[in-house]
């Protein structure tokens, strides 16, 4: 039995609702800020990747659909759909504070995106299911 943190799961698929975005494999790395990409490469080295080529080794850094060192993207969470090769990045709606408005929540997610990704990437409501 797999234990997943962050997203609801059963043995064959995971369903989730997030405020976030979806990237294909190449656009995920292309949109990641250069300094964050460098930090991620350093993290990969510390995890045992001697000379990680982000274009090749990065996707091996995913384990059971989630980024191996998920804390790297805090407060954002990541999950990869192995079937479609889409990477979902966002914050689950259950993380919304009781006194937080939807507008405040979306702004928090957008600010987190701006910390990690190039340009002005705006988040959106995502309801998805991924297969393991």
CA torsion, ordered 52, 30, 86, 75, to nearest 10 deg: 80
Give the pLDDT of residue 100: 95
Nearest Cα residue to 63 out of 2, 124, 1, 127: 2
Q: Which residue has the tokens 């850094």?
A: 61
Name the pTM for this structure. 0.75
- pLDDT in single tens digits along all 132 residues of the chain: 444 455 554 456 678 888 999 988 778 888 989 998 888 778 777 777 766 566 666 666 655 445 555 677 888 888 877 777 788 889 998 899 999 999 999 999 999 999 999 988 889 998 887 765
Count CB atoms within 10 A of the CB of residue 78: 21
Is the preceding peptide bond at 75 cis, omega within 30 degrees of 0? yes
């Amino acid at each position: 039995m797999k234990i997943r943190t962050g997203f609801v799961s059963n043995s064959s698929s995971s369903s989730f609702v997030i405020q976030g975005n979806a990237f294909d494999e190449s656009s995920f790395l292309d949109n990641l800020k250069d300094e964050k990409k460098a930090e991620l490469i350093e993290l990969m080295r510390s995890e045992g990747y001697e000379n990680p080529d982000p274009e090749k080794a990065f996707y091996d850094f995913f384990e059971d659909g989630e980024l191996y060192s998920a804390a790297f993207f805090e407060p954002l969470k990541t999950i990869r759909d192995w079937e479609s090769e889409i990477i979902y990045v966002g914050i689950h709606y259950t993380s919304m504070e009781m006194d937080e408005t939807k507008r405040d929540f979306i702004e928090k997610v957008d600010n987190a995106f701006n910390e990690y990704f190039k340009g002005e990437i705006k988040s959106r409501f995502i309801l998805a299911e991924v297969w393991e």
